Amino acid sequence: MKMKFTALVAAGMVAAAPAMADLVIPNLSYRTGPYAAGGTPYADGFNDYFTLLNERDGGIGGEKVQVPECETAYNTEKGVECYEATKGNGALVYNPLSTGITYQLIPKVSADHISLYTPGYGRTSAANGKVFEWVFNYPANYWDGASVAITYLLEQNGGSLEGKKIALVYHNSAYGKEPIRTLTDLAKKHGFELTEIPVDHPGQEQKSQWLQIRREKPDYVLMWGWGVMNQVAVQEAANIKFPMENFIGIWWSGSENDVVPAGDGANGYKSLAMHGTGMDYPVYTDMKKYVLDAGKASGAGDQVGSVLYSRGMYAAMVIAEAARKAQEIAGTPAINATQMRDGFENLEITEARMVELGLPNFGQPFAATCADHGGPGAAMVQQWDATTKKWTLVTGFIAPDMEVLDPLVAEDSAAYAKEAGITERCN
Amino acid sequence: MPEQLLYATEVMLNGLMAGVMYSLVALGFVLIFKASGIFNYAQGVLALFAALTLVGLQNGQVPFAHMINAVFGTHVAEFGWQLPAVVAIALTALVMVGLAVLIEKLVLKHLVSQAPIILFMATIGLAYFLEGLGDVMWGADIKKLDVGLPQGISETIESVTDSLFGYGFFIDNLDIVATVVAVVLVSALTIFSQYSKQGRALRAVADDHQAALSVGISLRFIWVLVWSIAGFVALVAGIMWGTKSGVQFSLSLIALKALPVLMLGGFTSIPGAIVGGLIIGVGEKLFDFFVGPMIGGATENWFAYMLALIFLVFRPQGLFGEKIIERV
């Protein structure tokens, strides 16, 4: 009896653990809790892309990809638990979709030698590969986003923001506070007045904040929100009749979720976008054939083509390309975490490659180096049309102001290097 | 009137309105605690579940569609109907009554005579179960709730105050509706508990379980009744908050806004829930207006609890709660 039980347990463990030759890419997702509406489509896009590679191509370089999912509920402690629970299964890279979890994982992945990929979120100064050997956040980060928003406003105002008032409504968390430093420096450079307006988690009640905006009448409002904070902010802006075309959110405040609840009131609201969206890309022909119609879609399969689904798919595409690069460098398809890091650090995504992947003009080309883990940082501006219920891109890719950002990244990463006792590399 | 005073008045009025929204959530807690001594941790989730059900029924969404499709390989999603808001609200109220019956039969019945902490823990379990059930039934995506409630600035108030003071006040139409609804709800609950047979039975159970049982009042019926009413109150709160932010899982967190209201107003008083809500609403908004800019803002969440704590120190039973005297 005892032996039978042991055999059963052993069989169960074998079934539960990924086959040793597989590429293991854990998906630290959140499909429950207050941020589920954002976490679910992202996780679906992430999973579906790897399912596509497995079903159509037999994986990456002939190696199947395992994507074990672990629920974090956007909770930092749970995120760390997920990391600890999955890292022993040969995990190659983590993408936790949470700045809070990212901050906790940076020292852990550095010690465990596993890559952390945080596109468009996380610790901005991780763009400095000289200090953050195991962290990558290309193609864009929060400070890029802040700078792109200001560059866009400069374009809208004939190159000058002198005397303009800009309010930043932000989630009162590590994530929401990220752009403050950049915006403060940009305010000095361009002569605009910056007002910081924090909103506590979860952001269901924002009357005080929007009464303040109504009183102070800023020319523009920027938003760093997530979850219900976005929907309430868009609704409150409509309530006070703030001109929606002067209200711009970061890319995490620019999904369909954020504007649909406000109905017509959200018309004209803008947000940054670091990639394309919608299903007008050739990749969806194969996605339909091998994943959706085959009944292998992640979740309910009802998020395909949405902004956050596209972002999850984009993150998976970059990881897959990094794995391909790693296989090429290592000369073997069965790569380990250290080799995966080499793939990330030597990754080059060209437009020609994006066309091959069925994603023409979907994202910006970039090439990582030992020192540059952050990419070019460009972003587009999209605008919501409440009638057609669609986002429309109103600009091409706008480059951030690296003259302001580079010193900030250098300063912040140097402070981290000192604190963590890291000697700069790539020299 | 000086500009600063005008702004403060506007903030205060909006605080009163916000307080009403908090009170709507707090009422559900009070009803259940008053009748059964249970602190219902699941009250916020009840509001979420009610709002999810309302949107699902109104839009003809097939419940458990994802599960059905996964098991049977089908592609069902919608029934194809769009119900009038009144019908959808009535059907959701019936669902909440059904839920109350199930909660009594499957949970509470088995916990009669248990310590309050056991009942409290049961409601924690219930909260997580209902949240999961809501997810499986209706999905985790954000849903627009439209039952025809007006939203946005009240033009009348804005123009009247503008002509009077030279500054148009902002008052949200939705908040005005919420205030009217709260007044009607509290009046109805008061009339029900004072003048109906069931209401008197409910008060008798609240006063003394054993004595109520000895005169033939069915405790199980009273529990179903009170959970049904609390479910209906949760539906009202879910409609108001869901209209504001869309129906999504963070809706369950509105319970956090009700806790300081309960601490301040008392766990056993319906008027206490209203007055407590108003004090918290006004207090947090004025504090944020006057002090917030000096300390970096975002004071509302913690200040509400601090205010409640201050009241608690001087009146542990809350402003309107019953004083607990235990003789030994």
Does residue B121 or residue B317 have the better pLDDT? Answer: B121
| Contact (CB<8Å) A235/B245 | yes
Q: Which amino acid is at B154?
A: S
- Is the pLDDT at A12 greater than 50, yes or no? no
- Per-residue model confidence (pLDDT) at position A399: 97
Residues of B in contact with A174 (CB under 8 A): none
Q: Which amino acid is at B320?
A: F
- Is the pLDDT at B208 greater than 50, yes or no? yes
Report the pLDDT averaged over residues A87-104.
96
CA distances A149 to A144, A183, A249, B134, Å, are 9, 10, 9, 38
A2-141+278-376 to CATH, choices 2.40.50.140, 3.40.50.2000, 3.20.20.480, 3.40.50.2300: 3.40.50.2300
- Per-residue model confidence (pLDDT) at position A14: 42
Report the pLDDT averaged over residues B172-193.
93
| Nearest in space to A425 (alpha carbons), one of A367, A337, A341, A319 | A341
- Per-residue model confidence (pLDDT) at position B205: 84
Q: Rounded mean pLDDT of chain A?
A: 94
Residues of A in contact with B251 (CB under 8 A): 204
| Contact (CB<8Å) B252/A34 | yes
For residue range B6-49, list pLDDT tens digits in order: 999 999 999 999 999 999 999 999 999 988 888 999 999 999 99
d(CA A216, CA A214): 6
Report the pLDDT averaged over residues A397-404.
96
- Is the pLDDT at A15 greater than 50, yes or no? no
List residues bridging with A392 in a β-sheet: A383
Q: At CB < 8 A and 24+ separation, what contacts does A330-335 make? A: A333/A60, A333/A61, A333/A62, A333/A63, A334/A21, A334/A63, A335/A23, A335/A92
- Is the pLDDT at A18 greater than 70, yes or no? no
For residue range A320-367, list pLDDT tens digits in order: 999 999 999 999 999 999 999 999 999 999 999 999 999 999 999 999
**Substitution target from A74, A211, A232, A236 for chain B, most B beta carbons within 10 A:** A211
Q: What are phi and psi of A202, to 5 degrees?
A: -90, -15
Nearest Cβ partner for A204 among B132, B254, B296: B254
- Per-residue model confidence (pLDDT) at position A128: 97
Q: What is the DSSP letter of A170?
A: E
- Per-residue model confidence (pLDDT) at position B324: 62
pLDDT band at B100 (very low <50, low <70, confident <90, very high): very high
For residue range B248-285, list pLDDT tens digits in order: 999 999 888 899 999 999 888 888 999 999 999 999 99
- Per-residue model confidence (pLDDT) at position B193: 85
10 Å CB burial of residue A159 (0-12, 13-18, 19+) is exposed
What stretch(es) of chain A map to CATH 3.40.50.2300? 2-141+278-376, 142-276+379-406
Which residues 175-214 of A have a C-beta within 8 angstroms of B? 196-202, 204-205, 207-209, 211, 214
d(CA B164, CA B160): 6
Tell me, yes or no, if A31 comes closer than 8 A to chain B by beta carbon.
Answer: yes
- Residue in chain A closest to B10 (alpha carbons) equals A211
Tokens encoding A194: 């910056």
Residues of B in contact with A195 (CB under 8 A): none
The continuous run of DSSP H or E covering A271 comes out as: strand A270-273
Residues of B in contact with A202 (CB under 8 A): 250, 253
Nearest Cβ partner for A215 among B7, B73, B296: B7
For residue range A194-238, list pLDDT tens digits in order: 999 999 989 999 999 999 999 999 999 999 999 999 999 999 999
| Pairing of β A93-94 and β A115-117 | parallel
Q: Which amino acid is at A226?
A: W
For residue range B212-241, list pLDDT tens digits in order: 888 888 888 999 999 999 999 999 999 999
Q: Where exactly are the structural domains of chain B?
A: 3-314
| Contact (CB<8Å) A235/B244 | yes
| Nearest in space to A151 (alpha carbons), one of A408, A409, A406, A402 | A402
- Residue in chain A closest to B154 (alpha carbons) equals A239
Distance from CA of B141 to the nearest CA of A (A): 5
Tell me, yes or no, if A218 comes closer than 8 A to chain B by beta carbon.
Answer: no
Report the pLDDT averaged over residues A69-77.
95
- Per-residue model confidence (pLDDT) at position B204: 86
Tokens encoding B97: 């009554």
Number of H helices, E strands in chain B: 13, 0
Tokens encoding B1: 């009137």
Residues of A in contact with B170 (CB under 8 A): 211, 214, 239-240
- Per-residue model confidence (pLDDT) at position A151: 98
Distance from CA of A239 to the nearest CA of B (A): 4
Q: Which amino acid is at A363?
A: G
- Residue in chain A closest to B303 (alpha carbons) equals A200
d(CA B142, CA B139): 9
Nearest Cβ partner for A31 among B140, B251, B257: B140
List residues bridging with A332 in a β-sheet: none
- Residue in chain B closest to A33 (alpha carbons) equals B249
- Is the pLDDT at A81 greater than 80, yes or no? yes
pLDDT band at A16 (very low <50, low <70, confident <90, very high): very low
Tell me, yes or no, if A266 comes closer than 8 A to chain B by beta carbon.
Answer: no
Residues of B in contact with A227 (CB under 8 A): 250
Q: Rounded mean pLDDT of chain B?
A: 92
| Contact (CB<8Å) A211/B292 | no
- Per-residue model confidence (pLDDT) at position B1: 65
| Contact (CB<8Å) A32/B65 | no
The continuous run of DSSP H or E covering A46 comes out as: helix A36-57
Q: Which amino acid is at A293?
A: D
Which residues 253-272 of B have a C-beta within 8 angstroms of A? 253-254, 257
List residues bridging with A224 in a β-sheet: A170
For residue range A26-66, list pLDDT tens digits in order: 999 999 888 999 999 999 999 999 999 999 999 999 999 99
| Contact (CB<8Å) A239/B250 | no
pLDDT band at B112 (very low <50, low <70, confident <90, very high): confident
- Per-residue model confidence (pLDDT) at position B325: 63
For residue range B147-157, list pLDDT tens digits in order: 999 999 999 99
For residue range A231-267, list pLDDT tens digits in order: 999 999 999 999 999 999 999 999 999 999 999 999 9
Q: Which amino acid is at A125?
A: S
Nearest Cβ partner for A239 among B132, B139, B153: B153
pLDDT band at B114 (very low <50, low <70, confident <90, very high): confident
| Nearest in space to A132 (alpha carbons), one of A370, A322, A346 | A370
Query: Which numeric CATH code is attached to A142-276+379-406?
Result: 3.40.50.2300
